Amino acid sequence: AAAAAAAMEPERECRVLSIQSHVVRGYVGNKAATFPLQVLGFEVDTVNSVQFSNHTGYAHWKGQVLNSDELHELYEGLKLNNVNQYDYVLTGYTRDTSFLAMVVDIVQELKQQNSNLVYVCDPVMGDKWNGEGSMYVPKDLLPVYRDKVVPVADIITPNQFEAELLTGRKIHTEKEALEVMDMLHAMGPETVVITSSDLQGPLGNDYLIALGSHRRTKADGTKVTQRIRVESPKVDAVFVGTGDLFAAMLLAWTHKHPNNLKVACEKTVSAMQHVLQRTIRSAKAQAGGNKPSSAQLELRMVQSKKDIENPDIIVKAAVL
């Protein structure tokens, strides 16, 4: 009966401030993060760092960009009404150093009000193609991420190339990846997930390896680190918005499983697989034998509502 009563009691409202891109059509940035978070029971307040017609992988895009003063103005409005209380802040792709610096100011102020606030940062800077890494944001963002953003972040989700950029260390083996994650912990974040890498895992070439590390300090001051490896089947297509979806779901599942990174990552990666498999099936059907277009490859987000809410665990994590 007590359990039933507990189940009836609503969870305390959990509120996320998500500062990301917005697209009219499709699913990247806030469009990729908001729906899953809402489905999983979070209140989401969105600041749209840009408003574009669609993501920039299409032949054409149009729209507006929010500058750091405008970001500050929106935040001031929340503050004046005393509704700037948050449990989480979530950020992703940003191109502008002053905008990023303003985000840091806002996070620091929110943390002064709520010392338990968790900042989830996807430090989007670049990626590897055919083994060669390249940045797709201006180079001057790297020192801002490294020296200002990562030190105030609690959870970061870099890919391998971004983890290498932040630490100045190259990763060739799993052991080196674990060392890089330790370096990232030392910079501030308690949870580090390298979302994709070109490492070879036990399951072989058709699988993508993600690595996670969660370091917490016990009551007696000793540190405990849990490290995991997740291998998920590669999907042969270029999707946009997957990193944004990943970071949002990781936020949700680490909230629900605070000291179990293994379960949080299994649920996150399994849900990703469901969404990507549904998307590629649908895109191929629409393309009818041709290469699917950007529009056809937009994530099937709404259609995946049940998988996001309660993912069937199809990807298991190994504890290292």
- Residues annotated as catalytic are 244
Burial of 316 per CB tally in 10 Å (0-12, 13-18, 19+):
middle
Q: C-alpha angle 57/246/290, rounded to 5°?
A: 40
What's 104-142 look like in SS3?
Answer: HHHHHHHHHHCCCCEEEECCCCEEEECCEEEECCCCCHH
Instruction: Give dist(CA 300, CA 279) in Å, integer.
Output: 5
Helix (H) or strand (E) holding 1: none
Helix (H, G, I), strand (E, B) or coil at 53: coil
Dihedral, CA of residue 72, residue 76, residue 82 and residue 88, to nearest 10 = -10
Question: Element (H or E) spanning 211, and its range?
Answer: strand 207-217
Cα–Cα distance, 230 to 250 (Å, whole number) = 13
Tokens of 157: 């989700």
Q: Between vectors from CA 112 to CA 109 and to CA 116, what angle results, nearest 5°?
A: 115
Torsion of CA 98, 160, 107, 216, to 10 degrees: -160
Q: Distance of alpha carbon 135 from its chain centroid, rounded?
A: 18
